[in-house]
Amino acid sequence: MPSDALLFPPAAPLEHGMLEVGDGHRLYYERCGKADGLPLLFLHGGPGSGCNARQRQLFDPARFHVVLFDQRGCGRSTPRAGCHANTTRELIDDIERLRVHLGIARWLVFGGSWGAALGVAYCSAYPRACLGAILRGSFLTGQADLDWFFGPEGAAAICADAWSRFCAALPPAAEGRALAALCASLADGAEPRTARAAAEAWAAWEDALITPGQVPSPPPVRDVAAQAALIDKYRVQAHYLAHRCFLGEEAVLEAAQGMAGIPTAIVHGRLDLVCRARNALRLHAALPDSRLQWVEGAGHNPFDPPLTRALIGALGHFAEHGDFARWPPP
């Protein structure tokens, strides 16, 4: 079944706006669904990606009051690609500012990939604000994750042809130092043609891991605005990854231990090549009373139909029961 058949119908936001959070940053946010529904915070991945209209369709508009926002430097937040005063600590505080601004007492935290790590960090810092958490395709932000994604002995050993194309787009001296080469190519002041090539190569490598086993589609033809947005996305991501997202694996797992008492569902695609299954196991072991569901036939993309179905199922279960004690279903 195509993923779109599982999603809820598209709908316009109830409200959207910009929130001043200090340091020259303004965050774009939107509220969707049912104004008096179960409050839910959506945390996008990346880092650097931003939110989009399709993500709203994961949530039943008759049940949930969904808040989505673009993190510092991302999407419609300003300044776009701004890396000044842009660390995980600031993002955690931004989330709390947004909750208070919207007058929400407590909410369910829903995050995937980098959004899962940020969700753990936020829940640990503000446990009284959290009804529960749903964490999909968890990224632990440590060196092992970066070596897997950017190293010749990680995912490159599985997607060898895509890795060869990725390396061909980087300077010859980047062998074994792909992330460092990308950071240099995307830094402020980098030559525009170099930045465009690095961003396009990064996007193609990421797409290959998100859709393993599929014939690679030709790269999209991007206009000037789309090219600039892609560079800005990966500029923020390079900033975060160069600093292990200002967390690191042990810090994420330590924060998970601080989530005791917060009902938590961990959902992970069995075929995920972006964030390994090992991450879900380690997070599950560190997170008291969490529940883990493996999703067969799914990778990292939340819109892989089996993963979409599992996420909507977890959301519905929490809306009905308020916990994950009897989830996942047999």
Tell me if 155 sits within 8 A of 273, measured CB to CB.
yes
| The pLDDT of residue 271 | 95
pLDDT of residue 224: 94
Residue 138 annotated as catalytic? no
Give residue 183's Cα distance to chain centre: 20
Contact indicator for 287, 261 with CB cutoff of 8 Å: no
Contact 67, 31 (CB under 8 A): yes
Mean pLDDT of residues grouped by 10 in the chain (330 residues)? 83 96 98 98 97 97 98 98 98 98 98 98 98 98 96 92 91 76 91 94 95 74 94 97 97 97 97 96 96 96 96 98 93
Q: What pLDDT score was predicted for residue 2?
A: 62
Q: What are the structural domains of the chain?
A: 3-142+247-321 (3.40.50.1820), 145-245 (no CATH)
* Pairing mode of beta strands 25-33, 15-22: antiparallel
Q: How far is CA 296 from CA 28, 65, 112, 319, in A?
A: 35, 29, 17, 24
pLDDT at 258: 94
Residue 312 has a pLDDT of 97
Cβ-proximal residues to 98 (8 Å cutoff; 6+ apart), any chain: 19, 27, 29, 67, 69
Whether 113 is catalytic? yes
Catalytic: which of 70, 272, 304, 317?
A: 272
Query: Per the omega criterion (within 30 degrees of 0), is the bond before 47 cis?
Result: yes
Rounded CA-CA distance 62/60 in Å is: 5
Q: DSSP E strands: which ranges in the chain?
A: 15-22, 25-33, 38-43, 64-69, 107-112, 130-136, 264-269, 291-295
Nearest by Cα to 72 from 56, 58, 88: 88
Q: Read off the tokens for 107.
A: 């909410």
The pair of structure tokens assigned to 71 is: 């993190």
Contact 101, 19 (CB under 8 A): yes
Q: Which of 3, 113, 138, 290 is catalytic?
A: 113
Which of 25, 44, 300, 317 is the catalytic position? 300
3 is catalytic: no
Q: What confidence score (pLDDT) does residue 176 get?
A: 66
